[in-house]
Amino acid sequence: MVQVPSKILTLEEFLRLPETKPASEYIEGQILQKPMPQGKHSRIQGELLAAINAVVKPERVACAFSELRCTFGGRSTVPDIAVFLWDRIPCDDSGEVANVFSLAPDWTIEILSPDQSHTRVTKNIMHCLQHGTSVGWLIDPDEKTVFVYRPKQEIEIYDAANEVLLGPDFASGLQLSVENLFAWLKI
């Protein structure tokens, strides 16, 4: 991640700044810009988003959002995929999905980019878990590994082709093996 040089800002001041591309995040008083997604990251993100929504959206169980700013617990981060239970999706006065999400996702998913710090991304996932997220995934395309985080549990590591990835209970219909996940990288 690239640190954006600036004076110390409060979270409220940060949220008033114009959005950057790629997105900047506010973490422990620092403004950090995420790296630009590259091919593997982008491919996995798009396919996984569609696969999750195919399982959870038809019955209005949940909805997966791509690159959605989530502000809670003194941080403002932009997970690669944020999944919210249907009844927790913020709505505006007209009943449409709100622009501002001031809560932790129910499931957070990060896809590691080559220039991204594994530690920084893990800290973002742990922050989510401390604020109500039930599951966090960290997908490492280069290592063909998925780390699964749950509150107060040991990290689960999935790297065998036939292992089925475990998400939250509300997405139990998503039957995705490690092999199938990384097969999306093949053209």
Extended beta strands in the chain, E state = 2-3, 24-27, 30-33, 62-66, 70-72, 75-77, 81-85, 107-111, 135-140, 145-149, 156-158
Confidence at residue 79, expressed as pLDDT on a 0 to 100 scale: 98
Q: At residue 84, what is the residue type? A: F
Q: Return the sign of the alpha-carbon dihedral for residues 157, 160, 163, 165.
A: positive
Confidence at residue 115, expressed as pLDDT on a 0 to 100 scale: 83
* Prediction pTM value: 0.93
- Helix (H) / strand (E) element for 129: namely helix 118-130
Strand partners, 137: 109, 148
- Show the tokens assigned to 53: 């929504």
Confidence at residue 104, expressed as pLDDT on a 0 to 100 scale: 98
pLDDT digit string (tens) for the chain, length 187 residues: 455 555 688 999 999 999 999 999 999 889 999 998 899 999 999 999 999 999 999 999 999 999 999 999 999 999 999 999 999 999 999 999 999 999 999 999 999 998 899 999 999 999 999 999 999 999 999 999 999 999 999 999 999 999 999 999 999 999 999 999 999 999 8
Please enumerate, as own/partner, the contacts of 90-98 that have beta carbons within 8 Å and a separation of 24 or more. none
Is the Cβ–Cβ distance between 34 and 1 less than 8 Å? yes
